[in-house]
Amino acid sequence: MFNTRFAMEAATALFTALLGLVICVGSARHGISWNEQGPEAGFFPFYIGCMVLIGSAVNLAQAVLARRRLTGHFIESGRVRDVAAFFAAIVVFAVLVSLLGLYVGIALYLPAVTLWKARLRPARAVLLGLGAALFFYVCFEYAFKLPLPKGPLLNLFGLY
């Protein structure tokens, strides 16, 4: 029921309307009228928030009016799983990076997903992960001189 185009149009319009409201409320804190120096800090964002609210209302109305037409699936039922799985893997990767640093994260994420989804042979998958981690390490530490979070594991080896 939620996977229809109409449901998503309406939900998105409501979501953007909520954002618009948040923007308006957030700006109101800083004053939305004039003082001697011109418009107050909240003036501009407040009206932007109004713009978003009005736009969302129109989008919602248009979605409701076109309800009959918007019956198709938002995501084709066969594809929901693949999209969700792909995204979930990225989230896990992000958490891994937070906990263990970027390079360990890469070395874990790439073999895991290529083993699972691409049916890569284990040896190749691990090689890919390690190779990519090494490549990026050399790239950023030496070529671009841009140190990135290395996490506790690499810290143990004295690499900060």
Partner 1 sequence: MGNFQSLMDGFSVALTYQHVFIMVAGVLLGLVVGVLPGLGAPNGVSLLLPLTFTMDPVSAIILLTSMYWGALFGGSTTSILFNIPGEPSSVATTFDGYPMAQSGQAGRALTLAFASAGFGALAGVLVITLLSGWMAGFAMKFGPAEFFAVYFIAFAGFIGMSSGAPFKTVVSMGLGFALAAVGMDTVSGASRLTFEFDNLIGGISFLIAVIGLFGFGELLLTIEEGARFQGVRAKLRLRDIMATLVELPRYWKDLLRSSAIGCWMGITPGGPTAASFMSYGIARRMSGNRDSFGKGAPQGIVSPETADHSAGSCALLPMLALGIPGSATAAVMMGGLMIWGLSPGPMLFVERPDFVWGLIASMYMGNVIAVVLVLATVPFFAAMLRIPFNIIGPIIVVVCLTGALTVANKEFDIYMALAFGVIGYVFKKLDYPLAPLVLAMVLGDKAEDAFRQAMIASDGSMSVFWSNSLVTTMMLVGLGLLSLPLFGLLRRRKAAPAPMVEQSA
User: Which residues lie near partner 1 (CB under 8 A)?
Assistant: 5, 8-9, 12, 16, 19-20, 23, 26-27, 30, 34, 37-42, 44-45, 48-49, 51-52, 54-56, 58-59, 62, 74-76, 79, 82-83, 86-87, 89-91, 93-94, 97-98, 102, 106, 109-110, 113-114, 117-118, 120, 128, 132, 136, 140, 144-149
**Residue 146 vs 156, nearer CB to partner 1:** 146
Contacting residues for 58 by C-beta, under 8 A, at least 6 apart: none
CA–CA dist 94, 108 (Å, integer): 11
Contact 93, 50 (CB under 8 A): no
Contacting residues for 122 by C-beta, under 8 A, at least 6 apart: 111, 115
**Shortest distance (Å) from residue 69 CB to partner 1:** 13
